[in-house]
Amino acid sequence: MKFIFCTCNVSVMERITNLLDANEVNSYQINDRVIAKNAKGAPRFDTPIWPGYNVSITMQFSDREKADKIIELLRTFNKESAYGNDELITVCSWEMENYFFD
């Protein structure tokens, strides 16, 4: 089982969620208006000086192969679809001990 945490500029959120939907990721959560100072690109503090903000998307997978596929698709997004440093997404993942919704 795997947990994936992704942060991205709100300007690419729809492209990321479309990617997830197209690959049958049936469960994910979005936290809106996440202010951030990123490793690359300008800070996004949703202020007049540092406009914009991030969103975070969290996903849980019981199927490790599917999780690995999504991680690779997100990596490909950065390499092929991001229009510069301000559209790069950050992705991290880790193993989960439990995943249930009963």
Going from N- to C-terminal start, the domains of the chain cover 2-95
What are the tokens at 23? Answer: 């690959």
Top CATH class of 2-95 equals alpha beta
**Which range (29-33, 52-56, 83-87, 97-101) has the least confidence?**
97-101
pLDDT score, position 25: 97
Note the pLDDT tens digit of each residue in 30-73: 999 999 998 888 999 999 999 999 999 999 999 999 999 999 99
> What are the phi and psi torsion angles at 90 (to 5°)?
-110, 130
Beta bridge pairs of residue 75: none
Q: Residue 100: is its pLDDT beyond 90?
A: no
In whole angstroms, what is the distance from residue 3 CA to residue 47 CA? 31
